[in-house]
Structure 1
């Protein structure tokens, strides 16, 4: 369908406005990704420090002391699935949900992220509990503490054999991978260490271990929340970069079409003017003839 120059001009203006929005979203996603990236080293150090403390606390226990394991007697896995909080992320949430195991009928899901909740509802996934994620990296610690409370409440209602994490982990550069990691029960044997000297403690070793285990779970959750936030914004950054390229190409196409329509309008005006001049000359010649 042929369009007028005014219609093309209006669409070009809309495209340019949309390009401004895409550029703003891209800049915001880039800033949030970098802020999260700068905090990841701290989150990793926090987790490693608590793990080392658990190893020292385990060394203080008697050799025959048994450590309770979460979820004995149950064969169900509880998945903490870290989706996206906001949209415009190039299908990142869909990739996360596609990575969920589908062969296990006893899988339970605690879903994180508002956009993930909407997409899971469309897919009719059985969601046992839900919580929002974060919009900026500064909210990671409070969010991880709320998530730990939600996890404990969920397990109190119905224990599970294990708790698994599914989240996006930020890598070097602009790369990320979806990770599956076990959160509970803690693999205490891999954390056990023989300290060079006995640490000074003011609590019974079993009580100290219980407190450190809770802190370690919070640290692991904080790390997963932070990585998930960074990856969501990295995915949004990539999606907005592609959208900006498409908007630029569309803008160039519309500008070329607008130039062509204007040239055609000018040509039509010149032709009409030339025809008028010929008609005027013919009438003038007829009036001055013999």
Structure 2
């Protein structure tokens, strides 16, 4: 079928509309990434406060806890729980696939151990179903930074319900950066007390709880802050990945638009030429 100028003109309008949508999505992703980064300072300040409390609580214990290396081996029967923070929405490229690939590498480090996977993010669930990756629990990723504390609380509740038997717990999440998002691994359980120096003060602070109870509650709160920080970092990285995808899409749209504009000019010139030929033919008739 012969291409018509009116059809090409309509396609140009459609591509202009698509370009506007892509620009809007890029702007929204940029705003969300900035909001997430802005929240990190507050989360980290709270974590430092809890860390100071853990240092005090450790000093109150009758006997100091034995030091444990950050990567101490875990019993094979204990199992391994991995929390994978993936994307909630689309147009983020291979963001979720990279996180789940990192989870698979963790599983292969000790294939003989029971492996439990938590997937956060609907796009991560889609990738897991496509690749037949089994998972034990899932939840939606946040769509706004203000939702991070609620999601962190849900993960903590689901996690502590599965801590019987002393499993190791790792957290996988992407971190924002200038290039492609990098996936990092953080160990949550067993808790590494060696990170917290003992507090030494001439006058110890007043406490209303036994040192072991106080320490246990502070550890729970610190794990919560680690999850909240990871959720915010992952959310920022997801939106930065979406920004990069929208930049690439906008470049493709510009190329398509240039091609359509050139084609419309060619068709317009052909129509003008045909009209001139018709006029000349009509004028030459007796």
Q: TM-score normalized by structure 2? A: 0.89
Looking at structure 2, the residues matched to 43 and 215 of structure 1 have their Cα atoms a distance apart, in angstroms, of: 12
Preserved CA contact (<8 Å) 1:74 1:160: no
Task: Answer yes or no: is 1:96 the counterpart of 2:99.
Answer: yes
Q: Which ranges in structure 1 are unaligned for 5 or more consecutive residues?
A: 284-290
**Structure 2 equivalent of residue 212 of structure 1:** 218
Q: Give the deviation of 1:20 after TM superposition.
A: 1.6
Distance 1:4 1:40, change over 3 A: same
Preserved CA contact (<8 Å) 1:174 1:234: no
Preserved CA contact (<8 Å) 2:84 2:117: yes
Distance 1:108 1:272, change over 3 A: same
Distance 1:175 1:95, change over 3 A: closer
Distance 1:273 1:221, change over 3 A: same
Looking at structure 2, the residues matched to 258 and 192 of structure 1 have their Cα atoms a distance apart, in angstroms, of: 71
Moved more, 207-216 or 176-185: 176-185
**Structure 2 equivalent of residue 82 of structure 1:** 85
**Structure 2 equivalent of residue 136 of structure 1:** 144
Larger Rg, first or second structure (1 or 2): 1
Q: Which ranges in structure 2 are unaligned for 5 or more consecutive residues?
A: 68-73
Distance 1:207 1:276, change over 3 A: same
Moved more, 243-252 or 96-105: 96-105
Q: Secondary structure at the match of 1:155?
A: coil
Number of residues of Structure 1 aligned to a counterpart in Structure 2: 276
Task: Answer yes or no: is 1:117 the counterpart of 2:125.
Answer: yes
Looking at structure 1, the residues matched to 166 and 17 of structure 2 have their Cα atoms a distance apart, in angstroms, of: 51
**Structure 2 equivalent of residue 195 of structure 1:** 200
**Structure 2 equivalent of residue 59 of structure 1:** 59
Q: Secondary structure at the match of 1:186?
A: coil
Distance 1:263 1:73, change over 3 A: closer
1:252 corresponds, among 258, 273, 276, to 258
CA RMSD of aligned residues (A): 2.2
Q: Give the deviation of 1:185 after TM superposition.
A: 0.9
Q: Give the deviation of 1:86 after TM superposition.
A: 0.7
**Structure 1 equivalent of residue 176 of structure 2:** 170
Distance 1:64 1:8, change over 3 A: closer
Q: Secondary structure at the match of 2:163?
A: helix
